Chains A and B, each alone.
Chain A
């Protein structure tokens, strides 16, 4: 069983959704990222999404755009990202780590190079925002060959006709981008999330995680009642923007409120 499958299975056994936490690697500096990742784990995150900074984050709202720029201004390189992942894997042998980012930094030295280096660093999955299934001739196959899950995105515009293409070759989990928009700006209605999750679960056995616009415990709890995973990103990145290299404490505290929220959702489901 992969670390990702194992993690979702454990959450499911507890009758709750997995908590998936996103931060941008290298924000505020490559040296500070390790302590922030530890804080995510200590606060109760089940899966870590490590963002690969990019100069042109087209799908991101202002919070994560600025995080990307802070990371790049601090000199963060692809090798730094891989080193952060490698060190995380040593400290947390069981916690799944997923790289999330844009195509160009991932394919710059070739998809095989990236897949091999990510595998060596102990990365479990990769989410690439701007390679749709139709354009996935190189990265997906390279990742699969290296034993890394290719996590696909589904959105409110992914209709029944497209869903099979999205699911074909997907593994790890299905990431539902719950709003048609950029990260951290709008929030989806609970009813639309419930409908979408039900639709995806009818089409796949993969766990379905919901993200984009999940700002705090209240939403995490509501989504936790219907999804297999809850993704939180911009709200954590905002704390890093505010506290910089001292962000680990506030991040740990915030994550523990989210972790409590998904556990509350489990109790409500059981009741």
Chain B
């Protein structure tokens, strides 16, 4: 959990962001003046926490005993056989408490909130995974919690909405704009600006104003740190390829970041292509967008010629966002990570394949990464190794899949 000046360590890709919060030309702090002092406070407090062994000790303890880490690295034998190429390992983040990688970041941020003396928690959520994880840590630490969720997402993610309420959170359906994740983020920012004195905003992905992209990445990097040790123990060598789904990109950066300086390890991020990039109805900000400023950072966005943000589309609520974390934009530009679009139909097919072959129902978000693996694994040698981040479980998506299949449940 350290950030250093890139000018001192020119041979690493892991030293960003710079002092102004930039990864190359991306990132930064584009917020209203009201939030600026708070963002600067957060950065100071995060630096202090990084230097405080007690903070790390408490984080590690909660990771072990509350979240259930380390998550297993599982060799998917039948999936490997089926695809007939590289050996496929699943990093089982769906086995974490609350069923996704999101809890890693929430534990880190709630500890920061407590350090800063904040007494109220807010968050945005798309699929509901981050909302559930936030509601969970808020309950664990006894803080009131409000979750902003697009009204469309509230409708398509009913199980998670109910789960958040069971955990004591207030869920606010957001009816502005397209009523999805982007609008939930707007509304959370509006709440925050009106309640700066007591409220901590737990952002769920590696986006937003600096230092959020950095601190969320740092908390999620536990995924890649564990995977690295686990694959060395299992295979005695590093993997050839890492694959993860990318919406904002927190599970992907969590897996990728500890391997960025290992040149032999290739990486692919799976972007949600909805009905296909050419259809215009997708959520692939790298394949179909351009750089701009939204939600506190400069990054690739879906936008028109006037800089108006265009609506994203994905069957997966967690990927239904017109932007991407700034570090991914940079990794894309420098070519360190390849990003591939995956359509709704491909993701649904991969969702079903994993359920049938391995007895694991993945989140629809995660299924996008599986679809990439289905394409690339057969082209690789049998002694090559792929690690895929199984970022979440798919119980929440069962109504969506049933609907896609025309089944009433």
CB distance from B26 to the nearest CB of A (A): 13
A182 touches B190 (CB 8 A): yes
A182-B307 contact, Cβ under 8 Å, with A56-B177, A131-B30 = no
User: Nearest chain-A residue to B41 (Cβ)?
Assistant: A157
- Stretch of B31-39, B344-352, B398-406 at the chain-chain interface: B31-39
* A contact residues around B37 at 8 Å (CB): 157-159, 162
Report Cα–Cα, A113/B118, bound state, in Å.
42
Q: With the chains together, A103 CA to B31 CA distance in Å?
A: 10
Given A180-B194, A180-B196, CB of A155 within 8 Å of CB of B33:
yes
**Chain B residues with Cβ under 8 A from A159's Cβ?**
37
Find out whether the CB atom of A78 lies under 8 angstroms from the CB atom of B306.
yes
Query: In the complex, how many angstroms separate the beta carbon of B203 from the nearest chain A beta carbon?
Result: 13
* B29 lies within 8 A of A58 (CB): no
Q: Does A104 lie within 8 Å of B194, measured CB to CB?
A: no
Bound form: Cα–Cα A78–B28 in Å: 25
Please name the residue on chain B nearest to A153 by beta carbon.
B33
Task: Answer whether residue A59 sits at the interface, using C-beta atoms and an 8 A cutoff.
Answer: yes
Chain A interface size band reads 35 or more
Inter-chain contacts of B38 with A (CB < 8 A)? 157
Q: How long is the Cα–Cα vector from A3 to B295 in the complex, in angstroms?
A: 34
The B interface is mostly helix, strand or loop, or mixed, namely: mixed
Q: Which residue of A lies closest to B290 (CB)?
A: A108
Name A60's closest neighbour in chain B (CB-CB). B190
**Which residues of the partner chain B approach A55 to less than 8 Å between Cβ atoms?**
177, 308-310
Contacts of B31 in A (CB 8 A): 130, 132
B305 and A132 contacting across the interface, CB-CB below 8 Å: no
* Interface flag for B264 (CB, 8 Å): no
Q: Which of A104, A152, A158, A179 has the most CB of B within 10 A?
A: A104
CA distance A77 to B307 in the complex (A): 10
Taking CB atoms, residues of chain A closer than 8 Å to B293 are 102-104, 107, 130
Given A105, A130, A152, A162, which contacts B307 in the complex, CB threshold below 8 Å?
A105
Q: How far is the CB of B198 from the nearest CB of chain A, in Å?
A: 11
Is residue A5 contacting chain B, with contact meaning CB distance below 8 A? Answer: no
| Beyond A56-B183, A78-B306, 20 additional pairs, beta carbon < 8 A | A56-B177, A77-B306, A78-B307, A104-B293, A108-B306, A130-B293, A132-B32, A132-B33, A132-B36, A134-B20, A135-B28, A135-B29, A152-B33, A157-B33, A157-B37, A157-B38, A158-B33, A162-B36, A177-B34, A182-B190
Using a CB–CB cutoff of 8 Å, the interface residues on chain B facing chain A are 20, 28-38, 176-177, 182-183, 186, 189-190, 193-194, 196-197, 292-296, 301, 303, 305-310
